[in-house]
Amino acid sequence: ATDLANQIEIVRAQIVNLDKVMNDAEIMKPARELETKLVDLQQNLVELRATGRGQDGVRFGARLLSKIGYLANGLASADFRPTNQQLEVQKILRDEVRRHQNSLSAIVGKELKALNELMRGRGVPNIVVRAPGSSQ
């Protein structure tokens, strides 16, 4: 789930930087639409509106990464094997991660591919998606 959030963030950063270096409405319109889709997907994983101060925990519900962290902390502090309820929550969260991975794959395979083809046609470098788990 963390790799998924990082992949989204890397693509979004490239789109934001693209907006700073070019003034081509035909490229920027689909780029901004792609960024909106990525923000919507990323918002399921992490709370993007969090300020890091005050009442964030009250204002905004826990997102997927927070839920996984909460479950992991509970399991790490236990002396016994996971309860049936914890195992069920793990399966639910795993399925949710897979669903979001599939959503990102669909976005990358369709919208990002089309944007990259448009950019290549104008001599602009591609937006790159980092492979999950890679450090580069």
User: Which tokens in the block code for residue 102?
Assistant: 């599939």
- Helices 25-45 + 84-107 axis angle, to 10: 180
Residue 70's pLDDT is: 87
**Euclidean distance between the first and final Cα of the chain, in Å?**
18
Residue 63's pLDDT is: 86
Q: Is 54 left (phi over 0), alpha (psi -120 to 50) or beta?
A: left
Report whether 103 contacts 41 (CB < 8 A).
Answer: yes
134 has a pLDDT exceeding 70: no
Residue 58's pLDDT is: 61
What is the phi/psi pair of residue 50, to 5°? Answer: -65, 140
Helices (H), the chain: 2-21, 25-45, 56-59, 64-76, 84-107, 113-121
Residues 60-77: tens digit of each pLDDT: 667 898 899 989 999 999
pLDDT level of residue 8 (50, 70, 90 thresholds): very high
Residues 75-133: tens digit of each pLDDT: 999 889 999 999 999 999 999 999 999 999 999 999 999 999 999 998 888 999 877 66
Residue 124's pLDDT is: 87
Residue 83's pLDDT is: 92
22 has a pLDDT exceeding 90: no
